[in-house]
Structure 1
Amino acid sequence: MRTPVIVVGVDGSTQAEAALRWAIDESARRGARVEALLAYHQEPVFVPATSMALHPYGERPRRHPAQELHATVELARAAVRDAPDVAETVVVGEAADHLVEASRHADLLVVGTRGHGPLAGAVLGSVAAKCLRRSHCPVVVIPPPVVDRTR
């Protein structure tokens, strides 16, 4: 019998962190394996011909995306009791394309949304919307937290 697979998109946002926690929690109910996927665009490297006292990443150097993903996974696992191990994958390219491809071997795809795009009545184009349209398995979309503006 094959172990079910839950693929979750992680991009460093609070919504993606919530999606990862949800996927980890759900994996216990399903006896599933969790795969966290982070896709990023490779940025051009800026190397000045002469020293201009500029650092290409601003004040502090960025961590490699694999380090960012690992830190996010460890925080999410710490928030869920008896959290399973999480497979971590970092790829270069469009997040939606990679998530849709990963959905081919998944039983469930989990993504967070910031509330933009068709889920909020705006223009199509968000990662969540593309995953909903093109995924090869069921998709769970974790919405942004509701903000009480009456206070």
Structure 2
Amino acid sequence: MGTGSIVDHRVLVAVDGSPASLEALRVGARMAGLFGDRLVGVSVWQSFRHGILPSDSRHPEQAAEQLVTTSAIEAFRDGVVPPIEIEAVEGDPADNLIALSHFASLIVVGSRGHSGLSGLLLGSVSSAVAAHAACPVLVVHAPVSTPAAPVSELTVDQRIVVTL
């Protein structure tokens, strides 16, 4: 970790509702359990631009918080939703995750998310975070067809170990 980092025993998971971010929630929950850390779902919202208002009447921060809640329910629909803290922040997703990385033991991001320019920028947030974060970053892909197995069902050979 870089100098000036203060680890807060949190596994941060970037949540945007995409299939890859749902898998990131599942993997993040397993990693938080293995590390004994808190699981934090991070959703980023952006201010109104060009006079365009969102389709619903909620404040964007409330919508971002709700996105984490509904994503957690979807990600763990076949089991129990683990305790998850919610952090909704305003601004650029990569910049915010990089800033938050100074206070985390791990960041888990999906390899692809929802982007306004999905054809051009797929993976841009995960790439930026992996390149500039102050803590380890785990990039996960969306599952092809089967959900991730609970950590209790994994053998030692199937577990991911990240060492620094």
TM-score for both structures, normalised by structure 2: 0.65
- 86-95 vs 62-71, greater mean Cα deviation: 62-71
1:4 to 9, 31, 34: 9
Give the number of equivalent residue pairs: 128
Q: CA deviation at 1:77?
A: 4.5
Alignment partner of 1:111 out of 104, 109, 112: 109
In structure 2, distance between residues paired with 1:79 and 1:30: 23
Residue 31 of structure 1: which of 28, 32, 36 is its match? Answer: 36
Alignment partner, residue 73 of structure 1: 72
Q: Call closer, same or farther: CA 1:62–1:113 in 2, change over 3 Å.
A: farther
Hey, what's the Cα distance between the residues in 2 that align with 1:107 and 1:43?
Answer: 32
- Choose 1 or 2 for highest CA Rg: 1
Tell me by how many angstroms 1:84 deviates: 3.4
Deviation by residue 1:15-49 (Cα, 9 ceiling, x = unmatched): 111101110122222211011110122234548xx
Q: 2:102 aligns to what SS in structure 1?
A: coil
The answer on 1:21 being equivalent to 2:19 is no
Residue segments in structure 2 that go unaligned for 5+ positions in a row? 1-6, 114-119, 146-164
Q: How far apart are 1:89 and its partner, in Å? A: 0.8
Partner of 1:90: 88
Per the normalisation by structure 1, the TM-score is: 0.70
| Separation in structure 1 between the aligned mates of residue 95 and residue 83 of structure 2, nearest angstrom | 25
Partners of 1:3 and 1:99 in 2: how far apart? 14
Contact 1:24 1:80 survives alignment (8 Å):
no
Provide the aligned C-alpha RMSD in A: 2.9
By how many angstroms is 1:137 displaced? 0.6
Task: Could you tell me which runs of 5 or more consecutive residues in structure 1 were left unpaired when the two chains were aligned.
Answer: 48-55, 116-121
Whole-Å Cα distance in 2 between the matches of residues 129 and 39 of structure 1? Answer: 17
Deviation, structure 1 residue 3: 6.8
The percentage of counterpart residues that share the same residue type is 30
Which residue in the other structure is 1:127 paired with? 125
CA gap 1:39/1:46 in 2 versus in 1, 3 angstroms: closer
Task: Select which of 119, 129, 137 maps to 2:135.
Answer: 137
- Taking the aligned partners of 2:104 and 2:89, their CA distance within structure 1 comes to 17
The answer to whether the 8 A contact 2:15-2:68 is kept is yes
Secondary structure of 2:65's aligned partner? helix
Q: After superposition, give the CA deviation of every residue in 1:32-88 in whole Å (9 maximum; x if it has no partner).
A: 1011110122234548xxxxxxxx63xxx476222222211233354455x531110
Distance 2:15 2:83 in 1: 16
